[in-house]
């Protein structure tokens, strides 16, 4: 959820979709094959990609060819990506 109370949802579909629920309306914000099988905002459990989506709606693939990325963390500077089947965490500083 964001500070305004909007709920963000990612679908487990191909292409993946990011939706926003404001309590009344459900809007599609983003659609891409890069996040097929979405698991957490902007990771593709099936596609093996982690993407960064800018406020302008454009996206950048941060990682690809990953096995089972899920449960992404972000501390404002660094993205942390757990790889469930490999038992490790990748990190990438983006700010």
pTM above 0.75, yes or no: no
| Beta-bridge partners for 83 | 69, 88
In a domain, 61, yes or no: yes
Query: Is 46 a residue whose pLDDT tops 60?
Result: yes
In a domain, 1, yes or no: no
In a domain, 95, yes or no: no
- CB atoms < 10 A from the CB of 95, how many? 8
Distance CA 49, CA 54 (A): 16
In a domain, 82, yes or no: no
> Looking at residues 41-61, what average pLDDT do you find?
72
pLDDT band at 40 (very low <50, low <70, confident <90, very high): low
Q: Give the containing element (helix H, strand E) for 51.
A: strand 49-53
In a domain, 87, yes or no: no
In a domain, 76, yes or no: no
Distance CA 2, CA 4 (A): 5
**Structural domain containing residue 21:** 7-67
Query: Is 6 a residue whose pLDDT tops 70?
Result: yes
In a domain, 40, yes or no: yes
In a domain, 63, yes or no: yes
Q: What total number of domains does the chain contain?
A: 1
Query: Is 21 a residue whose pLDDT tops 90?
Result: yes
């Amino acid at each position: 959820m964001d500070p305004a109370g909007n709920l963000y949802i990612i679908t487990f579909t191909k292409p993946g979709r990011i939706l926003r629920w404001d309590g009344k309306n459900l809007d599609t914000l983003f659609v891409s094959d890069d996040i097929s099988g979405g698991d957490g905002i902007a990771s593709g459990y099936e596609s093996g990609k982690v993407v960064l989506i800018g406020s302008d709606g454009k996206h950048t693939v941060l990682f690809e060819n990953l096995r089972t990325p899920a449960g992404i963390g972000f501390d404002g500077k660094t993205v942390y990506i757990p790889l469930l089947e490999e038992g490790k965490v990748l990190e990438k500083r983006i700010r």
